[in-house]
Structure 1
Amino acid sequence: MRSIMPADRLHLLLPFALPAAADASTALHDIQSPALDRLIARATLVERVIGEDFQRTLPHERWVARQFGALPDGASAAADEAPLAPYMLRADGGEPGSATWACVQPVHVRIAHDHLVLIDPASLDLPDDEAAILLAVARPLIEELGVRLEAPKPTRWYLSSDAFGTLAGASPLRASGRNIEIWLPHEAHSGERSRAWMKLQNEVQMAWFEHPVNEAREARGLPAVNSIWFHTQGVARPVHSPFAQVLSDAAATRGLALSAGVATSAPPRSFGELSAASRAATNGSGVTLVELDPFSAPYIEQDWARWNQAFAALQSDWFEPALAALQAGELAELRLTLCGDTGSVTLTVTRGDLRKFWRRRVLASLFIE
């Protein structure tokens, strides 16, 4: 007999699972998704957030910040706010205190014909030992400028300085693959570029130019680490969690959970691997949030064949067994938050909803124009 799931409400957060309408036919080519199709058809639409093309934050970032109460008071669901760096610092083992922090990542900026293009930092394949060497070169330059630097992990740094004021930066995945000109950090209120940041960035870029680490990388056919990227600046606020436990690999989501005093760990590979210990963490009540992110890299790279494969795996690993658990009464409620690169959709479905045969929503109706 299958065990009854004590934590019987599950919320799946899926970044980059919702292609834009223009890409949908390619992304979903030949996809067979009967379980997801039925869940969507019978679900209740909880929320649909339509973002804008040039927002600097991503829908899933805004969503988690809003769920935990990390946004400024009065911020709307579509507000271009995701001050997540202090919570990321906490997830990485640091303590943000009351200071303002920004996350800064080593990146590669590629020279195109007449502009510069940021590549996805995850594609750098930057090991910790190389990152630590580059950090050791950059640290004294940064600290000489009066900027506080914390780097519990060498591939992700955190900077704090009054000189950065209300500087707003774009999420790396928001700017990846695009001309970086409009995504560079600027003062949120005036739109002006920050001289303090440009000076710091330039110092680091010059120090890394022709550094032995980069020369060795290029000899191996890897991109040089030639710049740094500023994003998610903010101050940690007291937060609360609507979830009894959070299973995620994302630093921001884990940091928010830790700040709210909620149990957090890595997500399981499948619905069937939601372990008894993990389920018991909710004490028989509450919602378990699981953030799954197999889509980001192929979405950013427009590799729709790989995105399609990830979608098919999610169908068998999560949607089919979750639907079966709903039908058997082992799962009381399933929520899905599907995000694209500008907007998001949240749906909820219960066992009773599955009997509402007159509901006929289709996946295509969720695409963001």
Structure 2
Amino acid sequence: MTQITLVLPFALPPPELAPDLARALQAPALSALLTRTASHTVTTFHPGARALPHELWLARALGLPAGENCPFAVAAMRGFGLDTGDGTWFIVNPAHIEIARSHLSMNDPRRLHLSEPHARALFESAKPYFDEIDKPLLYGDANTWFMRADAWAELDTASPDAAAGQNVTDWLPSGAVAAEYRKLQNEVQMLWFEHPANLARAALGQPPVNSFWPWAPASQRDAPAKPGALASINCPPWLTAATGRAATTAPQFAAAPGSAQQATQLVVGSLGEAAIAADWSGWLMQMQRLEQELFAPLLAALGRGAVSRIDLVLTRRDAQATFATTKMSQRAFWRRPTLNRLLP
């Protein structure tokens, strides 16, 4: 029978808000999945880590080398159908960096809403600057570009999810060649300052694309060692490309778990945008939707024997909680379903 793993980045709320959010959330199926378990583990992480727990989980699932740099670039390039060749590649995300009261902050790239024409125009204008210093730039989609930078292989980078909303100075790429990166960044920022695409975005009330964010350096030796039954829903384009397949919708996945057309490991990215923005009413709405479309149908599939085991991997910036449940575990009627385990 089928075993299902659900990975839910940002499903663990901040400890100071968790009691109130757990009380507000009406999710009996999730409560049963979290409470009536065969095993339950919690792992803590440093809040300043440059890769978040769900990204480290994904790297392991793909069989990539361990480490905070999470070498996703080659896996994502293959997902976009790009030739990786030799050398070291970085994922490059167009970005908006703004001046907060006391520091610089990078917006969540999910909220950039960069159109294909504007992205292409910005890409084509910046590409000669990259080419001039032997850092070729390739286009994946509006939000996902790739840079070959063999000499920058040791650059210490952070993922956009780790850096978004933080003091960006603490998260900028660092290392012996960081000054070269900053020089290129400054040149591109000046190029884009009054770029027609940004002027058009301003007219639409959208923030300018005024920087780029390189991360996830990888080479051919970092190609995924475990391609296969891994899919994603509502995730950033790089993640969907790296997994190699996107599930259609949560309801369709839950309706036929483990069928020939379905992956048995699913990364669900529905909560990231709200959590990073500290939009907890939006987070609750997304959790309620997942309760109806995913948790309840999968709990029913477990009850009728269509699924033998469900593993839930819930994360926040500094913690990961893993829950395993089976049909037998769900018979533990003396364990009253509760969402208290959202409070590790």
Once the two structures are superposed, residues 114-145 of structure 1 have per-residue CA deviations (whole angstroms, 9 ceiling, x without a partner) of 32111111111110100000011100011001
In structure 1, how many angstroms separate the alpha carbons of the residues matched to 2:253 and 2:215? 36
The equivalences for 1:56-205 within 5 A come to 56-72=50-66, 80-187=68-175, 194-205=178-189
- TM-score of the superposed pair, with normalisation by structure 1: 0.85
Unaligned runs of 5+ in 2: none
- After superposition, the Cα gap between the structure-2 partners of 1:119 and 1:292, relative to the gap in structure 1 and judged at 3 Å, is same
SS, match of residue 265 in structure 1: coil
In structure 1, how many angstroms separate the alpha carbons of the residues matched to 2:306 and 2:109? 40
Once the two structures are superposed, residues 30-69 of structure 1 have per-residue CA deviations (whole angstroms, 9 ceiling, x without a partner) of 2111111111111133543211110011111110101221
* Conservation of the 8 A alpha-carbon contact between 1:87 and 1:96: no
Once the two structures are superposed, residues 203-230 of structure 1 have per-residue CA deviations (whole angstroms, 9 ceiling, x without a partner) of 1111101112112211221111111111
Deviation at 1:329, TM superposition (A): 1.5
Give the corresponding residue for 1:42.
36
- After superposition, the Cα gap between the structure-2 partners of 1:29 and 1:98, relative to the gap in structure 1 and judged at 3 Å, is farther
Give the corresponding residue for 2:270.
294
SS, match of residue 95 in structure 1: coil
Deviation at 1:346, TM superposition (A): 1.7
Give the corresponding residue for 2:259.
279
The amino acid across from 2:87 in the alignment is: A
The amino acid across from 2:259 in the alignment is: R
Give the corresponding residue for 2:198.
214
- After superposition, the Cα gap between the structure-2 partners of 1:91 and 1:141, relative to the gap in structure 1 and judged at 3 Å, is same
* Conservation of the 8 A alpha-carbon contact between 2:254 and 2:298: no
State which drifts further: 38-47 or 127-136.
38-47
- After superposition, the Cα gap between the structure-2 partners of 1:288 and 1:140, relative to the gap in structure 1 and judged at 3 Å, is same
1:223 is aligned, of 184, 187, 207, to 207
Once the two structures are superposed, residues 308-350 of structure 1 have per-residue CA deviations (whole angstroms, 9 ceiling, x without a partner) of 0111111111111111121122221111111112221221111
> Percent of aligned positions with the same letter in both sequences?
32
* Conservation of the 8 A alpha-carbon contact between 1:185 and 1:193: no
Once the two structures are superposed, residues 189-245 of structure 1 have per-residue CA deviations (whole angstroms, 9 ceiling, x without a partner) of xxx561111111111111101112112211221111111111111224353438635
Give the corresponding residue for 1:76.
none
In structure 2, how many angstroms separate the alpha carbons of the residues matched to 1:178 and 1:165? 25
SS, match of residue 24 in structure 2: coil
* Conservation of the 8 A alpha-carbon contact between 1:243 and 1:288: no
RMSD: 2.4
Deviation at 1:18, TM superposition (A): 0.9
The equivalences for 1:227-242 within 5 A come to 227-236=211-220, 237-241=222-226
In structure 2, how many angstroms separate the alpha carbons of the residues matched to 1:132 and 1:20? 38
1:20 is aligned, of 3, 9, 14, to 14
Once the two structures are superposed, residues 83-125 of structure 1 have per-residue CA deviations (whole angstroms, 9 ceiling, x without a partner) of 1121111112213244211111111111123321111111111
- After superposition, the Cα gap between the structure-2 partners of 1:242 and 1:211, relative to the gap in structure 1 and judged at 3 Å, is closer
Deviation at 1:9, TM superposition (A): 2.0
In structure 2, how many angstroms separate the alpha carbons of the residues matched to 1:213 and 1:255? 26
Question: When the two structures are aligned, how many residues end up with a matched partner?
Answer: 342
SS, match of residue 16 in structure 2: helix
- After superposition, the Cα gap between the structure-2 partners of 1:47 and 1:92, relative to the gap in structure 1 and judged at 3 Å, is farther
In structure 2, how many angstroms separate the alpha carbons of the residues matched to 1:355 and 1:273? 21
- TM-score of the superposed pair, with normalisation by structure 2: 0.91
In structure 2, how many angstroms separate the alpha carbons of the residues matched to 1:157 and 1:163? 18
Residue 246, structure 1, aligned to residue 231, structure 2 = yes
Unaligned runs of 5+ in 1: 1-6, 73-78, 259-263
The amino acid across from 2:97 in the alignment is: V
Deviation at 1:80, TM superposition (A): 2.7
- After superposition, the Cα gap between the structure-2 partners of 1:88 and 1:270, relative to the gap in structure 1 and judged at 3 Å, is same
The amino acid across from 1:156 in the alignment is: T
